[in-house]
Amino acid sequence: MPFTPAPQQQTIELGEQGNLVIPESIRHHLNLQPGEKLILTLEPDGSLRLASLKTQIQNLQGIYKDIAPGISLADELIQERRKEAQS
C-alpha cells in the first residue's frame, strides 16, 4: 500500500481585499511560483480546495496516455485543425 502523508494544516488570514497568502513552506513544498495560476474549488461540504492549474493539466494529460500510447492527442488535434484551416 503506497505511503500517504498526513494532511498539513495552517491558519491563514483573509486580507481586506479578499487576498490569501499561502505560507512559504506550502509554496516551497508545491513548487509554486509568483504569478502561477491556481484553481479554487468550493466543495459540497463547504470546504475550499486549492490546486495548481499546471498540476491539474499534467494530471489530465496522464489520464489519456494509456488510450493512445506514444501518440500525442494534442498534436493530432492541431494537425486536424491546420488541415481544416487550409481547406
Determine the pLDDT at residue 64. 62
The half-sphere exposure of 70 on its side-chain side, counting CA atoms within 13 A, is 0
pLDDT tens digits for range 34-66: 999 999 999 999 999 988 888 888 777 766 666
DSSP 8-state class, residue 18: S
Quote the percentage of the chain above a pLDDT of 70: 80
User: What distance lies between CA 50 and its chain's CA centroid?
Assistant: 9
Pairwise CA distance, residues 53 & 40, whole Å: 10
Q: What is the pTM of this model?
A: 0.56
Length of the chain: 87
Pairwise CA distance, residues 22 & 11, whole Å: 10
Q: Do 52 and 58 meet the contact criterion of CB atoms below 8 Å apart?
A: no
Higher pLDDT among residues 72 and 84, named by residue: 84
